[in-house]
């Protein structure tokens, strides 16, 4: 790999679009230990009176999460919302087919809303309805229970359960991954399009102001990809606001070079869904634009989980088993940062995104039952992007040295974007995909009135496999980079090998 200089130009006349705060969302599913001993652990030394772990709440606030999708995921396709409300001692235990576990329902709808309110006003609910084993009637019941002020059986039931004020859920997912044969109640595109349209129409009768997300493909590699989106949107185009995308990335057969270029796939996925949605809209002669909800994305060592699932058998139905607890390396964090850059580069159309998941399950935050909570390596790129990635995304066209990947062909060593805040400050987010060499960077700044570099931090390590663990929870943290300068309208920096970089300009 070469260390020739990478370059791009920033100019306020050339922008992508404004960043929707919902781009920095996350996801809480009843899966493994995300809920139980994750966000919720009555009896823990840090638990509050409601059983929420305050150490986790502190880290969630620091992470900068906005919207939180709930209760799934695959879990939602067997979800009975009424099991999750009312006195805890009266809630039924159920078998969860999605993750072969026993669901106690000790944490339910009220506890989820209370958790969001404790995070702060920036945390917004994103509720999924079950269109796998249930349908229109149950979605309407849940919507009325959650949102109607008073004076109906379900609104008054919510008040009787201790929640007088409505939950005010605006953003709703119409099912989850209904294109996937693994999904309980899996449907064809035609079947799903019809029930999604019927549910959307009914939910809008109850509240015309709801925002609705139709299920897109579970990945660009699905055999029905694009045809699925086109069929579903022809049924739902005027009834929904967004269509979903899901993508997870891992190194395959030790191919780290392709893994580091995972955002090449993410960006093409986004652009292909945009093209499909716009094609359907054109055919319908619609003036409406469908935006994208990338409501599941992350690095996930899926092949390792599939091996575990085969070995585990189907004997018992444990409560909150340790599932999908990937321990992330520096390399994983750099890839996650690159995926964040991909989302920001498409902020004009991707208006919701959810890192899957929030705690313990392929998550930036880990906990130990009865013990501490700590930040994974992937915590830091997300927290920095959420903190500094608010404003207008500037159009970045890189001139970068390239390298060869097995999966994606030639890929740029530099992956970058920049965001201009309301006060005129600019933050450059940049990844150097070169695993062995530094990458000099030059950025020409036109008409931005920038005078100084206020900070350059990098997440990188001499050991690309370094991780934060229970025994060493602060092994990896971002560190300051010296020598970055701004002179005569040109920013110069050197990006360390295999690094995530945040450069702030004032």
Q: At CA 71, angle to CA 65 and CA 72, rounded to 5?
A: 95
Query: Which residues neighbour 428 within 8 Å (Cβ) at sequence distance 6 or greater?
Result: 10, 416, 417, 418, 443, 491, 501, 502, 503, 504, 505
Q: How many helices (H) and strands (E) does the chain have?
A: 11, 25
Query: Could you tell me the end-to-end alpha-carbon distance of the chain, in angstroms, rounded to an integer?
Result: 33
The CA distance from 384 to 215, in Å, is 29
Query: Whose CA is closest to 301, among 329, 270, 263?
Result: 329
Answer whether 215's CB lies under 8 Å from 175's CB. yes
Give CA 228 to chain center in angstroms.
22
Helix (H) / strand (E) element for 379: namely helix 379-388
CA angle 12, 16, 20 (to 5 degrees): 110
Q: Cα-flanking dihedrals φ and ψ of residue 246, to 5°? A: -130, 135
CB 56 within 8 A of CB 38: yes
State how far the Cα of 368 lies from the Cα of 379, in Å rounded to an integer. Answer: 17
> Which H, E and C letters describe 273-330, residue by residue?
HHHHHHHHHHHCCCCCCCEEEEEEEEECCHHHHHHHHHHHCCCCCCCCCCCCCCCCEH
Q: Rounded to an integer, what distance in angstroms lies between the CA atom of residue 23 and that of residue 16?
A: 14
Q: Within a 10 A sphere around the Cβ of 351, how many other Cβ atoms?
A: 21
Determine whether 62 is an active site residue.
Answer: no
Set 138, 144, 267, 296: catalytic member: 296
Is 410 labeled as catalytic in the residue annotation? no
Structure tokens at 335: 């890839």
| Whole-number Å distance between alpha carbons of 137 and 221 | 33
Contact 333, 2 (CB under 8 A): no
Cis peptide before 162 (omega within 30 of 0): no
Rounded to whole angstroms, the Cα distance separating 321 from 314 reads 13
Among residues 82, 103, 138, 177, which one is catalytic?
177
Catalytic residues: 177, 296
């Amino acid at each position: 790999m070469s260390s020739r200089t990478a370059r791009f130009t920033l100019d306020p006349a050339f922008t992508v679009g404004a960043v929707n705060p919902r781009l920095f969302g996350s996801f809480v599913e009843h899966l493994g230990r995300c809920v139980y001993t994750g966000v919720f652990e009555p009896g823990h030394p840090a638990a509050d009176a409601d059983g929420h772990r305050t150490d986790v709440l502190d880290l969630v606030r620091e992470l900068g999460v906005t919207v939180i999708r709930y209760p799934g995921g695959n879990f939602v396709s067997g979800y009975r919302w009424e099991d999750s409300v009312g006195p805890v001692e009266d809630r039924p235990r159920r078998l969860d087919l999605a993750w072969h576990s026993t669901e106690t329902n000790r944490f339910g709808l009220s506890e989820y809303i209370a958790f969001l309110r404790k995070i702060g006003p920036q945390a917004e609910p994103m509720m999924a309805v079950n269109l796998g084993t249930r349908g229109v009637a149950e979605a309407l019941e849940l919507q009325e229970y959650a949102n109607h002020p008073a004076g109906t059986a379900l609104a008054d039931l919510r008040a009787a359960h201790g929640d007088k004020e409505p939950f005010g859920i605006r953003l709703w997912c119409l099912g989850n991954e209904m294109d996937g044969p693994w999904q309980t109640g899996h449907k064809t595109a035609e079947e799903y399009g019809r029930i999604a349209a019927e549910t959307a129409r009914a939910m809008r009768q109850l509240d015309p102001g709801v925002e609705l997300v139709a299920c897109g493909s579970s990945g660009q590699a699905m055999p029905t990809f694009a045809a699925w989106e086109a069929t579903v949107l022809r049924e739902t185009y005027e009834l929904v606001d967004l269509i979903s995308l899901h993508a997870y990335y891992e190194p395959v057969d030790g191919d780290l070079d392709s893994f580091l270029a995972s955002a090449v796939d993410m960006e093409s996925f986004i652009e292909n869904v945009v093209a499909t949605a716009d094609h359907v809209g054109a055919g319908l002669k619609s003036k409406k634009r469908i935006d994208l909800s990338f409501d599941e994305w992350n690095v996930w060592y899926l092949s390792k989980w599939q091996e575990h699932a085969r070995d585990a058998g189907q004997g018992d139905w444990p409560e909150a088993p340790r599932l999908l607890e990937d321990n992330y390396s520096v390399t994983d964090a750099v890839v996650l940062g690159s995926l964040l850059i991909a989302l920001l580069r498409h902020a004009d159309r991707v208006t919701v995104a959810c890192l899957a998941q929030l705690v313990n399950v392929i998550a930036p935050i880990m906990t130990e039952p009865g013990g501490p909570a700590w930040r994974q390596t992937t915590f830091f790129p997300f927290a920095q992007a959420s903190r500094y990635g608010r404003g207008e995304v500037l159009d970045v066209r890189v001139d970068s040295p390239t390298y060869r990947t097995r999966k994606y062909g030639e890929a740029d060593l530099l992956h970058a974007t920049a965001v201009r805040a309301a006060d005129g400050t600019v933050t450059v987010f940049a990844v150097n995909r070169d695993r062995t060499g530094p990458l000099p960077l030059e950025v020409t700044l036109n008409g931005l009135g920038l005078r100084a570099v206020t900070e350059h931090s990098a997440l990188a390590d001499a050991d690309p496999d370094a991780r934060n663990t229970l025994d060493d929870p602060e092994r990896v943290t971002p560190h300051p980079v010296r020598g970055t300068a701004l002179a005569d309208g040109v920013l110069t920096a050197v990006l360390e090998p295999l690094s995530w970089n945040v450069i702030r300009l004032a």
